[in-house]
Structure 1
Amino acid sequence: MVLLFLPLSLPVMAQQPVAPPEATAAPAFSPDPHISLNVVVSDRSDKPVAGLQQQDFTVLDNKLPQKLVSFRAVEKSTAEAPTEVILLIDAVNARFTTVSYERNEIAKFLGQNSGKLAQPVSIIFFTDQNTRVQTAPTRDGKALLASFDQNVTGLRTITRSEGFYGAVDRLQLSLRTIGTLTEYEARKPGRKVVIWISPGWPILSGPRIELTNREERQIFNSVVGLSTALRQARITLYSIDPLGTTDAGGLRTIYYEEFLKGVPSPNKVQAGNLALQVLAVQSGGLALHSSNDITGSITRCSQDADIYYELSIDPAKAEHPDEYHGLEVKIDKPGLVVRTRTGYYAQP
Structure 2
Amino acid sequence: MVLDELNTHFEDSSFAVRSVKQYLDARPALLTQPTTLMLVSDNKFRVLQTFTRDRDLLLKALHDQAVHYAWKLEGDKSIGYGTLERLDQSLNALEQIAQATARIQGRKNLVWVGQGFPSIDPSELKTKDQDLINGTIQHITNLLLDTRVALYAVDPTTSAAGMVEITDPTQLEFAQAAGDSFVTNADPFGSQLDFDRLGPVTGGRVIRGMNDIDKQIANFVDLGTKFYTIGYSPSDSNSAPRQYRNIRVVCLRPGLTVTARNGYYATPPASQSSKEALIYDLNAAALSSIPLTALKVTIDAAKSEKASAGTYVVHVDVSTLTWHPTNEGTSTAKVAVLVVGLSSKDKIISHTLQSMSAMTKGAADLSTSRKSADFLITSRLPRGADRLRFVVREMDTGRMGTEEISLREARQN
Q: Distance in 1 between matches of 2:179 and 2:118?
A: 14
1:186 equivalent to 2:73? Answer no
Offset at residue 148 of structure 1 (A): 2.0
Deviation digits for residues 287-309 of structure 1 (CA, Å, limit 9, x no counterpart): 11211111001011111122211
Provide the rounded CA distance (Å) in 2 between the counterparts of 1:248 and 1:224: 26
Aligned to 1:113: 27
SS of the aligned residue for 2:229 comes to strand
Q: Using the TM superposition, name which of 156-165 and 90-99 deviates more.
A: 156-165
Contact 1:198 1:242 in 2 (8 A): yes
1:345 is aligned to 265
Deviation per CA, 1:26-75: give whole Å up to 9, x if none.
Answer: xxxxxxxxxxxxxxxxxxxxxxxxxxxxxxxxxxxxxxxxxxxxxxxxxx
Instruction: Measure, in 2, the Cα distance between the counterparts of 1:171 and 1:242.
Output: 19
CA contact (8 A) 1:134 1:148 kept: yes
Aligned-pair Cα RMSD in Å: 2.9
SS at match of 1:220: helix
* Superposition map of 1:319-330 within 5 A: 319-330=239-250
**Structure-to-structure mapping, 1:1-348, within 5 angstroms:** 87-158=1-72, 161-164=75-78, 165=80, 166-205=82-121, 209-244=123-158, 246-248=159-161, 260-261=181-182, 269-270=190-191, 272-273=192-193, 275-314=194-233, 317-347=237-267
Q: Which residue of 2 aligns with 1:32?
A: none
- Shift in CA distance, 221/306, structure 1 to aligned 2, threshold 3 Å: same
- Tell me if structure 1 keeps the 8 A contact 2:153–2:206: yes
Please identify the structure whose Cα radius of gyration is greater. 2
Does structure 2 retain, via aligned residues, the 8 Å contact 1:161–1:169? no
Q: 2:186 and 2:259 mapped to 1: Cα distance?
A: 25
CA distance in 2, matches of 1:113, 1:269: 40
Partner Cα distance (1:159, 1:282) in 2: 26
In the TM superposition, residue 237 of structure 1 has moved relative to its aligned partner by 0.4
Q: Secondary structure at the match of 1:145?
A: helix
Residue 328 (structure 1) shift: 1.4
Matched position secondary structure for 1:328: coil
Per the TM alignment, residue 212 of structure 1 is displaced from its structure 2 partner at its CA by 4.9
Measure, in 2, the Cα distance between the counterparts of 1:249 and 1:265.
Answer: 23
- How far apart, in 1, do the equivalents of 2:73 and 2:262 lie? 37
The alpha carbon displacement at 1:227 in A equals 1.9
Normalising by structure 1, we get a TM-score of 0.64
Secondary structure of the 1:329 match is coil
Q: 1:220 to 1:143 in 2, by over 3 A?
A: closer
Q: Verify the 8 A CA contact 1:331 1:338 in the aligned structure 2.
A: yes
DSSP 3-state at the match of 2:246 = strand
Alignment-derived partner of residue 349 in structure 2 = none
Task: Report the count of equivalent residues.
Answer: 251
Query: Which residue identity lines up with residue 181 of structure 2 in the other structure?
Result: L
Shift of 1:109: 1.0
- Provide the C-alpha distance between the structure 2 equivalents of 1:190 and 1:159, rounded to a whole number of angstroms: 35
> Which amino acid counterpart does residue 42 of structure 2 have in structure 1?
D
CA distance in 1, matches of 2:239, 2:206: 33
User: Could you tell me whether the CA contact under 8 Å between 1:197 and 1:240 is conserved in 2?
Assistant: yes
Match of 1:56 in 2: none
State the one-letter code of the partner of 1:184.
A
Aligned-partner SS, 1:110: helix
